[in-house]
Amino acid sequence: MDILNRSILFGGKAIVSALDITDTARRAREIHGFSVAAARAFGKALTLAAFMSAGFKDLGNKLTVILDGDGAGGRMVFAGREGAKVRGYMEHPDCLAERPDAKVSEVVGKDGTLAVIKDFGLKEPYNGYSRLVNGSIDADFAFYFTQSEQLPSAVATGVKFDGDGGIAAAGGVIVQPMPGCTDEILVMLEDIVRDFTDMDERIAAYTPQQIIDDRFGHFEKSDLAPVYPAYECDCSRERVAAAIKLLGNAEAESMICEAGKIEVGCDFCGKKYIFDADDVRKIFG
């Protein structure tokens, strides 16, 4: 089972989060058929989408993350809700299949944007944007947190593959300041995360709690309740029917006349929904 562990440091001045999302990343790959290079980039970004949605409390809270770069993978979109339940897709999931060791930046690209939308059910959702720094994902999200959310953050994610190209482990570590955090504390924590150059190996060898205890356990530390990430899609036939209704009766009838049916596929989970003429009449009946 995947898990996200969090600990408050220095009596509330900083928080460290460590994640294992191996099963979530495997499920995403099973759905989308990612190449090794694509799975590496997607798994790193999926880790951060899970982290960002882990703190959501209400069922109606929604997260959308869009990585839109000029890399071989094209656009990546992630969605999350309370409890680190995430899903996502990549425009070109089979990119660089012939080059499993391709750099993450080749999949993501170095020229583009990172956009984050947080919908808390208020009048207007929160919208944050930043440019891609180098396409590594870690630096791109760290820059986003610093620039758009004013949270100077240390980010290290990784995806490890076995000898057959399967995902052996996926996850990461994120450290962020809390009110009262001094520059001295932040620099010290950033230096620790900067040493995680072997994150691929580390997440395969240790649990998230072990990583926190090993590298941050000598500080004043208070552990929070764990969160359990998972790949979950909330699409449904009812939601698709509602979308068809928004098209209007005339447009829906035109599609039925042309193809004999309306077929809608979910980008996140691959499920297909088919509506025939009788179904359409019921929608508008």
Q: What are 5-32's pLDDT values in tens digits?
A: 999 999 999 999 999 999 999 999 999 9
- pLDDT-derived band at 65, boundaries 50, 70, 90: very high
What DSSP string describes 217-252? TTS-EEEPPPB--EE-----HHHHHHHHHHH-HHHH
Query: Strand 85-90 relative to strand 230-231: parallel, antiparallel, unpaired?
Result: parallel
CATH fold label, 3-231: Hsp33 domain (3.55.30)
% of the chain beyond a pLDDT of 90 = 90
Global pTM value: 0.94
- Biggest CA-to-CA distance, the chain: 69
- Burial of residue 59 (number of CB atoms within 10 Å: 0-12, 13-18, 19+): exposed
Residue 71: strand, helix, or coil = coil
Residue 245 CB neighbours (<10 A) = 13
pLDDT of residue 210: 97
Average pLDDT, the chain: 95
Q: What are 177-203's pLDDT values in tens digits?
A: 999 999 999 889 888 888 888 899 999
For the chain, give every domain's residue range.
3-231, 237-283
pLDDT of residue 59: 77
- pLDDT-derived band at 111, boundaries 50, 70, 90: very high
pLDDT of residue 196: 85
Residue 103: strand, helix, or coil = coil
- pLDDT-derived band at 41, boundaries 50, 70, 90: very high
| 138 contacts 156 by C-beta, under 8 angstroms | yes
CA angle 206, 212, 214 (to 5 degrees): 70
The residue type of 177 is P
Residue 67 CB neighbours (<10 A) = 30
pLDDT of residue 285: 78
Q: What are 241-273's pLDDT values in tens digits?
A: 999 999 999 999 999 999 999 999 999 999 999
pLDDT at 55 over 90: no
Q: Average of pLDDT values for 57-63?
A: 87
pLDDT of residue 21: 98
Q: What are 114-172's pLDDT values in tens digits?
A: 999 999 878 789 999 999 999 999 999 999 999 999 999 999 999 999 999 999 999 99
pLDDT of residue 60: 83
pLDDT of residue 122: 80
Q: In this structure, is the dihedral angle defined by the CA atoms of residues 100, 103, 105 and 106, taken in order, positive or negative? A: negative
Nearest to 10 by CA among 193, 184, 149: 184
| 231 contacts 243 by C-beta, under 8 angstroms | no
Among the CATH numbers 3.40.50.620, 3.40.5.50, 3.90.1280.10, 1.10.150.570, which is that of 237-283?
A: 3.90.1280.10
% of the chain beyond a pLDDT of 70 = 100
The residue type of 193 is V
Sheet containing strand 221-223, edge to edge, reads 154-161, 167-177, 14-20, 3-9, 221-223
